[in-house]
């Protein structure tokens, strides 16, 4: 069985067609700590490999919404990095060709500003997310191969509204009523919210296309 950790229900829905006997999907609700907990649980349940699968913020200036990236290296929030085992990365690159491989920056809280993204990019990371480092840490502890597949939802120049991450519930669903209230209070954010929604949809389509290839991973 291959264990997969997603941050959001929308990400997990792109994996709905995977055979349940070969894949187990858990949702962390945009929490780095829960991502590590879910990955550890998958390892205890017999996973032979762990995947982090979902959306990410772009750090490399040439990445655009909907671009797909395979991460075989993740920089940890408190320093250091974890390198994935090469065979799984090579297999994913072959299955998802012409997707490129690039490092991820792991964070425990969302990075909202272009300045924050630029600081992370200075270490060489090409994308940022809140799940990959938790999955990698769990895989290291369980001595399992791991990898991350991320679709860019916001590029390096895009600022996210401060209320955006407050919308995600622990089960990975999005509180639409809270989003509507936030926009009523800050209507000037509506054009940005609409652009982000379009970019998010494009990234989810890229994830859905990648998900179609995962059943071809070897047992």
Which pLDDT tens digit goes with each residue over 90-110?
Answer: 999 999 987 889 999 999 988
List, in order, residues 6 or more apart from 165 with CB less than 8 Å away.
30, 109, 110, 112
Range in 57-61, 97-101, 132-136 the model is least confident about: 97-101
φ, ψ dihedrals at 99, nearest 5°: -60, 140
* Angstrom distances, CA of residue 199 to CA of 52, 66, 116, 122, 180: 20, 7, 20, 24, 19
* pTM, entire model: 0.91
CA distance 197 to 4: 24
φ, ψ dihedrals at 186, nearest 5°: -135, 70
Q: Give pLDDT, residue 98.
A: 79
Q: Give pLDDT, residue 211.
A: 95
Q: Give pLDDT, residue 164.
A: 75
Which pLDDT tens digit goes with each residue over 156-198?
Answer: 998 888 777 788 889 888 888 887 787 778 888 788 878 888 9
Q: Give pLDDT, residue 196.
A: 87
Residue (of 122, 104, 106, 200) closest to 154 by Cα position: 200
pLDDT classification of 134: cutoffs 50, 70, 90 = very high
Q: Give pLDDT, residue 161.
A: 83
Kindly state the greatest CA–CA separation across the chain: 51
Domains detected in the chain: 2-216 (3.40.50.1580)
CA distance 19 to 121: 36
Q: Give pLDDT, residue 194.
A: 87
Tokens of 38: 């879910």
Q: Tell me what the mean pLDDT of segment 138-142 comes to.
A: 95
Range in 36-50, 125-139, 187-201 the model is least confident about: 187-201
């Amino acid at each position: 069985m291959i264990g997969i950790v997603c941050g959001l229900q929308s990400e997990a829905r792109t994996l709905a067609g995977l055979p349940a006997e070969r894949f187990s999907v858990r949702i962390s609700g945009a929490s780095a700590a829960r991502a590590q907990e879910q990955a550890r649980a998958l390892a205890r349940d017999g996973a032979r490999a762990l995947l982090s699968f979902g959306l990410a913020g772009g750090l490399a200036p040439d990445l655009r919404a909907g671009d797909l990236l395979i991460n075989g290296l993740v920089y940890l929030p408190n320093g250091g990095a974890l390198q994935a085992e090469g065979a799984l990365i090579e297999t994913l690159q072959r299955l998802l060709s012409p997707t490129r491989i690039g490092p991820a920056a792991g964070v425990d809280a969302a990075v909202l500003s272009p300045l924050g993204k630029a600081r992370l990019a200075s270490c060489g990371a090409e994308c940022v997310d809140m799940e990959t480092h938790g999955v990698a840490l769990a895989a290291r502890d369980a001595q399992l191969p791991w990898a991350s597949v991320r679709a860019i939802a916001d590029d390096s120049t895009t600022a996210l509204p401060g209320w955006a991450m407050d919308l995600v519930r622990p089960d990975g669903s999005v509180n639409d009523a809270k989003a509507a209230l936030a926009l009523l209070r800050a209507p000037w954010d509506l054009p940005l919210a609409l652009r982000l929604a379009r970019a998010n949809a494009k990234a989810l389509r890229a994830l859905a296309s990648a998900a179609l290839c995962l059943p071809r991973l070897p047992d």
